[in-house]
Structure 1
């Protein structure tokens, strides 16, 4: 175990280990409810005029399922094989403390991009279906919701709206100057498609 830790944080493997550690910390924060899974997501859409200079980059990212999946979801499937191959290859070649080991990160990373694409492919359809199912939520505007996770104008929280079936879970922010605490009732007043979340106001303040 000690040898594995030493190898993981050798000069050649430090970046891969740091990336894996970052992903693990991120998921812990998501689990405790301080962040949403799409908090660090990226937008692959060009602006209204189009930006030809980055079109190729958008196409490349889309090829690896980025844009179809949350960034951190993809990065999770990239970081683990990246770390495992980095440690394994450098240990086998004895390059964990050399510049050659650092340079090997580039071909290893390239290979892991394709591995992550392959590993995440089954989830693309799942996330597509989830996004499609979220479309009918637009009719919740004007309805009351119950706050599950606190929200303000900067912090994304979560709220539920009662339906005939299972409650709808919404990612929410408040209007400027308002704070929605857990357990409070709020009114859904708008939908922000660019952020895929709903704007609410505490019901008592209306």
Structure 2
């Protein structure tokens, strides 16, 4: 136990230990309802012709090229941190602890931080594949739903972001929604679907009030 604590609180493992602590705290707060699962969502409702611009566009492009889309970003980040922590910990345990002098350990420790993350990317991309159907934003079972209501599941809804749940044939289906600002739409509200962008599978909504 002492050796374990020494490793997770020393460089390089401590870098991911801190991130892992934030991840665990986030999921704990989510379980008790204080945070939304999509708190980090970059709203990646994009098609193959999109042009990535700005910081958000660059991050979106990177995530798409790595296959890290289709599920909430919080899940992707959590898995990346967990796997990176595991790889860094065992690298430290089996290799770095045996090296001298300290500057060599520090140099290889920095390399292990980067290598662990790079190794975690394809593993995370593969692992989230079975989860993507759970977060599908389009389903042929929907048919024409303009004029019906849905329940907002995202923390906010504006002209660029929004997610809702609609019941169809006893199934709960997630859809992307948009609404003009300003509005008072919040998570849990019932909203009216007033229009549909069939090409992008995005629905425009308005507050029932």
1:27-70 deviation line (CA, Å, top 9, x unaligned): 445543524277146679674599xxxx9xx6x86564234655
Q: 1:106 & 1:142 partners in 2: Cα distance?
A: 55
Give the aligned partner of residue 208 of structure 2: 203
1:87-145 deviation line (CA, Å, top 9, x unaligned): 33324433699444443342454255335424542532552685375465473333222
Q: CA RMSD in A?
A: 4.7
Unaligned residue ranges in structure 1 (runs of 5+): none
State whether structure 2 residue 134 is matched by structure 1 residue 165.
no
Q: Where do 1:33-52 residues align within 5 Å?
A: 33-36=35-38, 39-40=41-42, 47-48=50-51
Q: Where do 1:136-147 residues align within 5 Å?
A: 137=142, 139-147=144-152
TM-score norm. by structure 2 comes to 0.62
Name the SS for the 2:168 alignment partner. Answer: coil
Q: 2:100 & 2:20 partners in 1: Cα distance?
A: 17
Give the aligned partner of residue 12 of structure 2: 12
Q: 1:145 & 1:196 partners in 2: Cα distance?
A: 15
Name the SS for the 2:132 alignment partner. Answer: helix
* Equivalent residue in structure 2 for 1:179, among 172, 176, 184: 184
Give the aligned partner of residue 78 of structure 2: 76
Q: How far off its partner does 1:83 sit?
A: 1.4
CA 1:136–1:88 in structure 2 vs 1: closer, same or farther (change >3 Å)? same
CA 1:19–1:200 in structure 2 vs 1: closer, same or farther (change >3 Å)? same
Give the aligned partner of residue 88 of structure 1: 90
Select the structure that is richer in helix.
1
State whether structure 2 residue 26 is matched by structure 1 residue 21.
no
